[in-house]
Amino acid sequence: MKMISLLVFIVIFPAVAYSQPSIVFDTDRYDFGIVPCGDMLEHTFHFTNSGDEELIIQKLVPS
């Protein structure tokens, strides 16, 4: 039984260990130029998940 468990682990572990999401942005920054005080700004960043697992975005922080 231990041998079967070990074989299953050896066969499945590499596939699980290397499966991960990978985010790829079209562009990673945007320059708004000179902005008057008080103006609201908005920009959309386009990205794709090039990995083989589901990509979950849990938190966004502006810089």
pLDDT digits (tens, 9 = 90+) for 2-54: 777 766 667 666 655 567 899 999 998 999 999 999 999 999 999 999 999 99
**Distance from C-alpha of 31 to C-alpha of 29, rounded to nearest angstrom:** 7
**CA 37 to CA 58: how far, in whole Å?**
30
Residue 61 above 70 pLDDT? yes
Identify the pLDDT of residue 60: 85
Reported pTM: 0.54
- In sequence order, the 6+-apart residues with CB closer than 8 A to the CB of 46 are 25, 26
The CA distance from 33 to 2, in Å, is: 64
What does the alpha-carbon distance between residue 29 and residue 25 come to, in Å, rounded to a whole number? 9
